[in-house]
Amino acid sequence: MPRIKKQIMVKNKQGLHARPAALFVQVANKFDSRITVSRNHEEVNGKSIMGILMLGVEANTPIMIEVDGPDAQRALSELENIVSSEKEK
């Protein structure tokens, strides 16, 4: 199973709060892969809304997304599209 790790700049003006965080978790839960998100050495489950909100990610903040599993590449691609978009989806 592939394991992929990538640092991505959060460009959404809202950061990963409320709606963007909910969308991130909704998309993450479509995949079988294990997804973790970290910021400033704090790591959380990418499929947990509370975990994502606890990170307090604001706009123009880098986060690390690590995906481990059979659909890792597809999961990372979709999640990257969410956080790197300047517009709220």
- Is 41 one of the annotated active-site residues of the chain? no
Q: How far apart are CA 88 and CA 67, in angstroms?
A: 23
Looking at the DSSP bridge assignments, the partners of residue 61 are: 10
Q: Tell me which of 4, 11, 14, 17 is the catalytic residue.
A: 17
DSSP character at residue 32 = S
Looking at the DSSP bridge assignments, the partners of residue 66 are: 5, 36
User: Which residues are catalytically annotated?
Assistant: 17
